[in-house]
Amino acid sequence: MKTISLKKVSAVAVASLGFGLLSVVPAQAAYITSNVTSINLTRSTTTPTQGAVVAVNIGAVVPSATRVVGDQMLFQAAFTSLPAGGEVAISGALGVDGAAANTTATYPTGWNGTAVAGAGTGKLELVAAATTAGSTITSSATVGFGSFTFTPSKAGVYTMKVWHDTTATPDGIQSGTEISSSISITVVAATQLSPSASIIRMGVPTTLAVTQNSATTTLTNYTVAEDAKPRSAAKGTSAAPNNIAQVAVVLVNGNGSAAGNLHTVTADITGSGLVLCNNSGTAAAGTVRSSVLTLTGTDNVASCHISTDGTAGPGTVTISVTDSVSGTKTVLGTRSFTSYGDVAKIEVSTKNYTIGRAGFTTGKAATTRAAATEVGNSAAPATVTTTSGTATTPAFIVKATDSLGQAANIAASGVPAIVSGTTTVVTGGTCLLDDGAATVGSSTNGVGFYNCDFSTSAAAASGGKSTLTIRTVDPAGDGTTFLTTTLDVTVGGSISTETIAFDKTSYAPGEGMTITRTAKDSAGNPVFDGAAAPAITFSKSVGGTAPAASFYVGGTRSSTSSTGVQSVFAPSVPGAFTAIATSGNTAGSALSAASSVADANAGLLTQIDALNAKIVALNALIAKIMKKLGVK
């Protein structure tokens, strides 16, 4: 910390702050030149903080003496030391000087500040209201006859000196005989806005429950999972836009508190779309390409509303914050969205089940899907073909897109229709728009994906086939043409023959294994999707997790996941072992498959023998060469 002389500081203060005479002194009134006995100072600001007003209350021992009404007593203040680069003006005022200063104005007997004129920067004065005046005022955090305030621009120690100016020339310079008092004030760094700690999340364009001045504001419908979902809406028109999404912006300080300090939030749109930022979570339409909101008071949450602009295509919103203290503008993040046009294409994007069971519906045309009710999970039956309707996994999913390839909803809340090519095999099916509420399936925002099922005739025989035509009216046509796609489905019977098989005849100890269960019906066709597949046990202890009871899809069930991850591993002990299960056929046949674990030592011996043979052959070759060269 750099310390400079009082004379130098005071001179600079006078030059820069323009000190002059405080007021016009009434006739026969005068500045009091006799010294007060003492001055006492008390900091009234609990935690002096960079960028916030700091107040120092003043008291004094004023001797009782005969005064002329209107006599004035002048007090001045200046810094004798302060942090480098922390030069700042001091303001003085009598009585209560706002919330930052003393709350009880107590004047010496016979003095008041009601008639003061010209009190201001770096000085304050008392005015005699009686012919006899004087008493002791002891300052505190809430009491004083006046206060000096400043707004520190830097953190560090500020030393303020206050003196009774007896010269009646408020030049900011203390004479050697004037009574003074000093106070040291430690100013802490301001809590800074932290862009990295601040939060932006995108969600549905409905009401956001906003709790201002809270770093943990309620974001019930703006969870991390919701933020990860794509957002889109029909393009609408410029006169009748559609809301796409709402972005919640929560400003947080570095210490985790709410950053309510008049910061500015800016949202800029590139591509398609319009935006409007305000401090209300109520759904609203975007109006401009760039929206700027300066939060007021202690607000720290902005809501940026995004809507269509009448054009189709992708859009991106870039959210930035400008720090009100530093003036620095920082990008908090970006979020993407789309405005889609009319449906131009439909296709089957996911095929879960294509082998139906006679007399049953395969899959579920569910609007709402949830993990707990997906086939095989706790709240749903471990079956694909059901008449109960409790499982929510669709047999297949249809995706609709516009001319730009963006997911798009069929107009007027329409859904694809399913027409069976062979109604004696499959009678038809149903599709419903996924609502995007679940974390499973293809649809994540309720746009463009339809969950479908199909129903198999009770009279359908194993091996029966039908081509399903999925269609919707072409919005570009005359109302009689369709956009179409097809899916081939078949019929399977119950389990007649069943086998289990390893993917290898021999494994290294602990090696990953793939075990496949296969089931066919009495006609030799794959069983219907959803037929029960048995659990598998082993004659020796294996690693990982043995294949549990499950169900067949396409007539097979593998222990390896769809991503190729193996979950069961060969025994660590060498030798033969067997996989065992009980068939789901009428006879409950015993199923088994054999494999083995190679002896690691035996393999090593084989390698050693091979190496020895190579050495013998090499020696023979060397001997032959030496003989030709005549080397003994």
Residue stretches of the chain with pLDDT short of 70 = 1-29, 95-104, 113-121, 168-172, 215-221, 378-382, 386-389, 439, 441, 600, 602-603, 632
Q: How confident is the model at residue 22, as a pLDDT?
A: 34
Nearest to 555 by CA among 535, 533, 534, 537: 533
Length of the chain: 632
Residues 186-229 have pLDDT tens digits of 998 878 899 998 999 998 888 777 777 776 655 666 788 888 88
3-state secondary structure (DSSP) of residue 8: helix
Q: Give CA–CA dist 151/50, Å, rounded.
A: 7
State the SS3 of 86-129. CCCCCEEEECCCCCCCCCEECCCCCEECCCCCCCEECEEEEEEC
What are residue 517's DSSP bridge partners?
Answer: 500, 557
- Angle (CA) 542 546 552, round 5°: 145
Give the domain 199-340 fold.
Answer: Immunoglobulin-like (2.60.40)
Q: How confident is the model at residue 142, as a pLDDT?
A: 86
H or E segment to which residue 568 belongs:
strand 568-569
What are residue 276's DSSP bridge partners?
Answer: 305
H or E segment to which residue 13 belongs:
helix 6-17
Q: How confident is the model at residue 106, as a pLDDT?
A: 83
Write out the residue limits of the CATH 2.60.40.10 domain(s) in the chain: 6-187, 199-340
Distance of CA 468 to the CA centre of its chain: 43
Give the domain 6-187 fold.
Answer: Immunoglobulin-like (2.60.40)
Residues 273-286 have pLDDT tens digits of 999 999 888 889 99
Q: Give CA–CA dist 27/272, Å, rounded.
A: 75
Q: Which amino acid is at 594?
A: A
H or E segment to which residue 426 belongs:
strand 426-433
Q: Give CA–CA dist 236/205, Å, rounded.
A: 15
The pairing of beta strand 104-105 with beta strand 568-569? unpaired
Q: How confident is the model at residue 379, as a pLDDT?
A: 63
Q: Give CA–CA dist 383/5, Å, rounded.
A: 89
Q: How confident is the model at residue 625, as a pLDDT?
A: 86
Decide if 177 contacts 164 (C-beta within 8 A): no
Q: Give CA–CA dist 469/482, Å, rounded.
A: 11
**Which class is 497-598 in CATH?**
mainly beta
Q: How confident is the model at residue 28, as a pLDDT?
A: 53
Q: Give CA–CA dist 569/560, Å, rounded.
A: 11
Q: Which amino acid is at 128?
A: A
- Give 212: exposed, middle or buried? Use CB within 10 Å, 0-12, 13-18, 19+: middle
Structure tokens at 361: 């519906």
- pTM tops 0.75, yes or no: no
Decide if 31 contacts 72 (C-beta within 8 A): yes
H or E segment to which residue 604 belongs:
helix 600-629
Write out the residue limits of the CATH 2.60.40.1930 domain(s) in the chain: 497-598
What are residue 266's DSSP bridge partners?
Answer: 292, 320
